[in-house]
Homo-oligomer: A and B are copies of this chain.
Amino acid sequence: MKMHRIHFLPHDRKIEVPDGQTLIRAAMEAGVHINASCGGEGLCGKCRVIIEKGRVAEGISEKLSAEDIENDYRLACRSIVCEDIVVRVPVESEVDVSVLNVRSGPRRTARIREMDFDELKEQGLFSPPMEKKYLELPAPNAQDHLPDVTRLVSFLKLNHGEHSLEVNLPVIRKIPDVLRAQDFRITATLARPVHEGGKTRIINVQPGDTTANNYAIAVDIGTTTVYGQLIDLVSGKVLSQFGDFNAQISYGEDVITRIMAAEKPGGLQKLHEVVIGTINGIIRRLIKRAKVDADEISTLTMSGNTTMTQLMLKVNPRYIRRSPYVPAASLYPPVKAVSLGIELGDHVQALVYPSVSSYVGGDIVAGVMGSGMYRTEELTLFMDIGTNAEIVIGNRDWLACAACSAGPAFEGGGIQFGMRAARGAIEDFSIDPLTAEPMLMTIGNVRPKGICGSGLITMVATLFENGVINNLGKFDRDLQTARIRENQGVWEYVLAWKDETQIDRDITLSEIDIENLIRAKGAIYSGCMTLLEEVGLSIGDIQRIFLAGGFGSYVDLEMAMVIGLLPETDPEHVTYIGNGSLMGAKMSSLTNRIRRDVVDVLRKMTNFELSETASYMNHYVAALFLPHTDMNLFPKLKARLEERKAIHAGKRA
């Protein structure tokens, strides 16, 4: 087969691919990430690349202007390799990993909550899942021929009261040599049963005393990003953490395109391998950063949404996207990490958080566990906002949950200049109320490249409160500013002029973008209202709001209340919990109590399918305004707007 050489810039990566392959697949194979919101279908137009040398076949779409094409821009997903080429990935098409690992707390945050080791112990929730015991066994002799494993098990029984022990073959294989390495002095790692009456498993044996070194790894598998933590099981401290993009991104940005990719021949295997690759990369970094011995890692806990969980476990997710939307399983048994391809010791079992339904997954269950909402008396609203928003309402007595599809607006999708919360994203915004001139702040304080979800909310809220857009999300056509203009029949606001940007084009916010945002926030708000109604409560009954998720951590609370994404409430009652999924995975690494409780929580949690709830559509239509048709739900905003109106009226008067 004829092969062609591709040279990717600015990465300086070279790869040979067969004639006829698409450019986006070549990039994947070269390890060059290119945005592909639509999963390579030629729809989103985000995978723009510049062909600097040579040419490709096809590669053209209505997403490219005549000028773009003239300047050798092509869509990578539509381009067919037919000769040697040099390809430049422009800055706006790049996935930038650096921002993931900047430890930045949420801005204007009420409170951040994360339970620690001492709190676990104080609350009687501490029940170590993995314990190491140092043992000095008697050596065999002419009168004592006990088999090695029997010797170990009997000693633990007689001297440590361990009555129900299990040892599996890989550990049996190690025992004879480990016993003799330091004269029958060894450390045994015991995995405690989650449920009473279960057996304690001896999962590892090591020569000498290694009781000081005992670690766990927790991993949150997000559709976009995967985060890991390495936790010291002796001190309870997080020794290192690291995040990376889920390498599955190249197969589509959302779960539906991923499922479709998994349905292609060999697709499930590929998507499985790719995410395991991401997890392995993170684990390697965690171990390197924490400077621990990989053999001392005793346990791995993972959480992710239902699709991510099934792809990671290589369980075909095809029925998740088909009515009646049934996942393969809820609870998964612990499984050997190595059997999944995860590069940890043969003794490490991977625990995976269970899912409630196809769209309320293990990440949400982990958030409920990590946030502690399942143990509190306070009536709590838990929200994880992303492409799909999940809502949980309840307390220690009952829990109700639902998912709603918000669309990708909060993650930059469906927004012309939308992007993820990465370097160059506009994340804060204000305007001069008189001139309507903007003031922008970007992540990393560089020239803007696009708009991230939290920036979008702040922008729309600010424009709305300042009367630049009305409650339908339409620009005030009468405002005297060059920033507002009609462009090919669509009204838009120019956030940054071409020469102020990194991308050599005007960055704008259009009425279509605003409409997409309103639809997204409307879906979430109406989801909350419907779920509350289903359980016979109203928004006023909610005593606490937990905001989880990367987006939830960046969003400006007051701005979110202005656009009607969140119910209006005292910001003191809102708690950011950050990555609830990772927090839950960490908690399960630290204590069996959480591992046990999760089964109860799962039993308590009632799932509501909003699409089958008659009132959902009414709530949704009512929420397709800024902030809502019923302004009485937003009394403080109502008062401010009336005050502002009065001032304007006064000015005009």
Contacts and interface: CB of A to CB of B under 8 A. Distances in A.
B324 A172 contact: no
A175 B327 CA distance: 11
Contacts of A180: 319
Contacts of A485: none
A609 B326 contact: no
Interface string A133-151: 0000000111011111110
Given A169-B333, A330-B150, A333-B166, A145 B315 contact: no
A145 B335 contact: no
Contact of A147 (B177, B333, B355): B355
A239 interface: no
A315 B170 CA distance: 9
B166 A315 contact: no
B323 A148 contact: no
A156 to B, nearest CB: 15
Contacts of A315: 169, 172-173, 176
A497 interface: no
Given A167-B333, A333-B168, A324 B150 contact: no
B142 A332 contact: no
A612 B323 CA distance: 73
A147 B330 contact: yes
Interface in A342-399: 355, 357-358
B173 A314 contact: yes
Contacts of A141: 324
B335 A169 contact: yes
A382 B315 CA distance: 51
Contact of A609 (B145, B149, B313, B358): B145
Interface in A436-457: none
A316 interface: yes
A430 B610 CA distance: 93
| Interface core residue of A144, A315, A323, A357 (most chain B CB under 10 Å) | A315
A482 B612 CA distance: 104
Nearest to A357: B145
A176 B326 CA distance: 9
A165 to B, nearest CB: 11
23 contacts: A144-B324, A145-B358, A145-B607, A145-B609, A147-B326, A147-B330, A147-B355, A148-B319, A148-B328, A149-B331, A150-B330, A166-B333, A167-B329, A168-B335, A169-B333, A172-B332, A173-B314, A173-B315, A175-B329, A176-B316, A176-B318, A176-B319, A177-B316
Interface of A: 140-142, 144-150, 166-169, 172-173, 175-177, 180, 197, 313-316, 318-319, 323-333, 335, 339, 355, 357-358, 607, 609, 612
Q: List the 6 shortest-distance A-B pairs measured between CB atoms, nearest first.
A: A149-B329, A147-B327, A147-B330, A140-B326, A169-B335, A176-B328
